Amino acid sequence: MRVLMILPALTEATSPLFRPIKYSLFPPLGLATLAGYLPGDDEVRIVDEHVERFDPALADLPDLVVIQVYITSARRSYELADWYRARGVFVALGGLHVTSLPDEAAAHADSVFCGPGEDTWPAFLADLRQGTTAKRYTSKQRTLAGLPPIRRDLIKRHRYLVPNSIVVSRGCPHHCDFCYKDAFFEGGKSFYTQAVDDALAEIDRLPGRHLYFLDDHLFGNARFATELFEGMRGAGRVWQAAGTVDSILRPGLLERAVDAGLRSLFVGFETINAGNLAEQRKRQNVGRDYGQVVRRLRDAGVMVNASFVFGMDSDGPDVFDRTVDWAVRQGIETATFHIMTPYPGTGLFRRIEAEGRIVHRDWELYDTRHVVHEPRGMTARQLEDGYWRAYKDFYRWSNLWRGASAKPRPGDRLRHLAYAGGWKKFERVWDVLIRSGQVLHALPLLETALSSFGTRSPGGTMRGDLLEGAVDDRRGAGDRDHGRGRRAELAAGRRRGAGVEPHG
């Protein structure tokens, strides 16, 4: 069977002017995971329109087309699906948007998939070969046990800055009102993990030093995370991930992560207005000292990528300047800003829709850069203008220097300027690397920058063994051997009943 898997591009990623580096960070790991279930004699191709141009008319027709649909790529996804179906090709659609609006997606597909695919995808493949496919497959059983190895051979590594992306869990234990998660995992477990040994085996298959965990919340199961970090310790890896403010403040867990190679963490602060947190059910942030969170990460030598959302009901026109000022004063290295967007299927969408505040359903504009609802504390124009001003102000050289000045040592300040400036001030350079297919050549610079983190700040509590060899690349191979030895010991302990449950 000839199978074509497509990740359609978001509109901005195809701009003839320049394409932001964020669209060339990670390969389509979800499609490569599904490809692992296909027999070895199937002919499989993965197309990621974010990093390569694709014209279906210039390629041979496959037997099966699988398209992963996000809300802002829905138009392009349906366009491709309709083109293939008109030529007799079987089309399967899945992903966040399909799960939220399955009836809309079903008009463009032979089969649609709701929720994660670990149980429904193998069932569909069996049905397809017998000619008995269903119109809709809805996930009910949630487990990562027996997950086949990801088909990384289908990924064009040279087109991505971070080809070593990995996911070792699904979902998140929290239930924020604006998040897709509850809709996507409806009808079953909404948070579950791999077995630790399986996760470590997948890590071992990845070349080089750098990793990026794409898990919604890598620290969500403290027991699993603790054993994972223990298994990674000594392997010479440097890695990035996402975590919540409450997990950062949890004693011991952050230190274990840093010991295993954590050097950068995406943190969902979301808002500096306490009234917004309860409204959005962001309970894990309620009553937390954000300044303490930043200090704890800085003392551990971990770079902070802070996420903020503008336009919640308690926000007024002053929220942009106050948020930027707070982030700069804290010495946060990079910040990501968003306009609050009520995605279909979320509690936020249901509430905003019931209040008659949804402006339109042009899904391409549900990109967190455009206002698609009527805000309460300001006009839509003020919200959009403030969003763009926040980005501009945070990444001004003067503010980058002010943020760097919050660091105690000259080396820390220089590193702050280099990382933040390199990320946002050289977008044209990134565009050249993307278009020439050479973006992977920048990975050693990223590894070097991340390796320089992990150094102890004055007054910090990080142990000296966390620092050992942070910037010495020569340790890599030896450390990985040492790490494998430690993992063998840990695996033996788990087999004696001391380990983590495979999922949940």
What pLDDT, on a 0 to 100 scale, did the predictor assign at position 279? 55
Chain-centroid distance, C-alpha 484 = 27
Sign of CA pseudo-dihedral 103, 108, 113, 114:
negative
Q: Where are the alpha helices (DSSP H) in 356-456?
A: 380-394, 397-404, 410-424, 427-435, 443-451
| Structure confidence by residue, pLDDT tens digits, 137-156 | 999 999 999 899 999 999 99
For residues 249 and 293, the answer to whether their CB atoms sit within 8 Å is yes
Average pLDDT for 115-134: 96
Q: Which helix (DSSP H) or strand (DSSP E) does residue 127 occupy? A: helix 120-130
The C-alpha atoms of residue 440 and residue 417 are separated, in whole angstroms, by: 22
113-124 per-position pLDDT tens digit: 999 999 999 999
pTM of the entire structure? 0.85
Condensed to tens digits (0 to 9), the pLDDT of residues 292-341 reads 899 999 999 999 999 999 999 889 999 999 999 999 999 999 999 999 99
- pLDDT-based confidence at 274, cuts 50/70/90? low
Residue of 118, 70, 72 whose CA lies nearest to 93: 70
Mean pLDDT over the full length of the chain: 84
pLDDT for 288: 62
Q: Read off the pLDDT band of 473 (50, 70, 90).
A: very low
Question: Is 232 within 8 Å of 196 (Cβ atoms)?
Answer: no
Minimal CA–CA distance to 243: which of 229, 186, 440, 391? 229
Q: Alpha-carbon Rg of the chain, whole angstroms?
A: 23
Q: What is the pLDDT of residue 20?
A: 67
Yes or no: say if 320 and 311 are a contact pair by the CB < 8 Å rule. no
Domains and CATH numbers, the chain: 2-138 (3.40.50.280), 161-340+375-465 (3.80.30.20)
pLDDT at position 499 is 34
